[in-house]
Homo-oligomer: A and B are copies of this chain.
Amino acid sequence: MVPHLITALTGPINELEQRILESMPAVERWFRLEWMEHTPPFYCSVDIRNAGFKLAPVDTNLFPGGWHNLTPDMLPLGVQAAMAAIEKICPEAKNLLVIPENTRNSFYLANIAQLQRIFRGAGLNVRVGSVDPEIKKATAVELPGGETVTLEPVVRSKRRLGLKNFDPCTILLNNDLTAGAPGILEDLHEQYLLPPLHAGWSVRRKSRHFQSYEEVAKRFGKMLGIDSWLVNPLFNRCGELDFAREEGMECLRTNVDALLAKVRKKYKEYGINEKPFVIVKADYGSHGMGIMTVRDVKDLEEIRKLPKNRPPVVKGGKAITDVIIQEGVLTAERINDAVAEPVVYMMDRYVVGGFYRIHAERGVDENLNAPGASYVPLAFAESTRLPQPGQKPGASAPNRFYMYGVIGRLAMLAASYELEATDPEAETYE
């Protein structure tokens, strides 16, 4: 099912859909050639927003949670992709250690149970090793469905990380390291640690990601003969922000103003009668804390009204000093009256599924992954891999899902560029 698009101006997105479908052999070939040069991140999920006139990623998560939201139908694709990934990284693998977030939240642990299921299906012994200092012995947590996840304390030797009587070849991080990589994960040169530590939020910057994405989108747009703006959210960044001081705010005001002007110009070019807006958010961190929707530079004054000693924060308790100012992309998709945002899941180079994040109480220009967001996941009804050429643009769910898969892969490719550029161990040839 394609959720009902309420924006009047669905022409551009339907044209884009048609263009992408017509060019499918060129698109797939382009990705194959890119993956010859660049290694995909082990797995990732991408939040996408469809404005009807524009389709763009707004967030790329390299430690995707929410795997439990994928339907059982999609699992075999995940297993097959996991087989391909493992085969490339460590064919002799028998044991895989998953490192989760330090939480016992049962929704999150349902995600871990699903990851276990996927990698067991790929034929690995999978155990969950917690780096939470509070986990001192094997702790079974029962999930609402009756399943159990057992968290075990990790055991570090000089050169390896494992569990008691469990020596893994590969360590899969599902912990986004917002608070920094714990020392226990450092200097593991004998094992594969995936994704690498520099994919954690203590190193990663959203602005760096969207800089890579812009590069990817431009090349993709050129190949396809389209304006890359149709798939690329514009952005600025502002470093060394200090909400308490006038100088720190000036940088924000200037950048917000400049970006709003740029978006306004683009809207004019495409005849879009919507009010442009930008999203100001922390340049790091996986959740939506500290996110502001700004329609006018005057909105920034709201920040001043916050108590001086309580600046907007991000997960992990750090005050925001770096922000990304991102073009706001309306979400024009609806399921009944609720706003819907597609999320695409990938493993290795394959799109293995996705779902809609649906939220009845949020607006079209608000973030749907905000803290406490009680969104309802709605799994994609069909595969992203079976487009139906010849269908009327905008009318075929498989075609829409295929297009989401293309955008998701563009963001994954950008993450690959980003991780190469920020790899502390990269060799430089100068």
Contact = CB atoms under 8 A, between A and B. Distances in A.
Interface string A67-86: 00000110111011101101
Nearest to A31: B123
Contact of A94 (B26, B35, B93): B26
Interface stretch (A104-112, A268-276, A379-387): A379-387
A8 interface: no
A47 to B, nearest CB: 22
A29 interface: yes
Nearest to A402: B121
Given A28-B123, A28-B124, A385 B79 contact: yes
A426 interface: no
Contacts of A387: 121
Contacts of A121: 385-387
Given A25-B123, A84-B84, A383 B76 contact: yes
Interface size for chain A: under 10, 10 to 19, 20 to 34, or 35 or more residues? 35 or more
Tally of this chain's copies: 2
A94 B383 contact: no
A81 B122 CA distance: 14
A142 interface: no
B32 A86 contact: yes
Contacts of A32: 86-87, 91-93
A388 to B, nearest CB: 10
Nearest to A119: B25
Contact of A29 (B35, B123, B389): B123
Given A29-B93, A76-B77, 7 more contacts: A25-B94, A29-B92, A32-B87, A75-B385, A77-B77, A117-B386, A120-B389
Interface of A: 24-29, 32-33, 35-36, 72-73, 75-77, 79-81, 83-84, 86-87, 91-95, 117, 120-125, 350, 383-387, 389
Q: Name the 10 nearest CB pairs between A and B, nearest first.
A: A28-B123, A76-B383, A32-B91, A79-B385, A76-B385, A25-B94, A25-B125, A24-B123, A25-B123, A121-B385
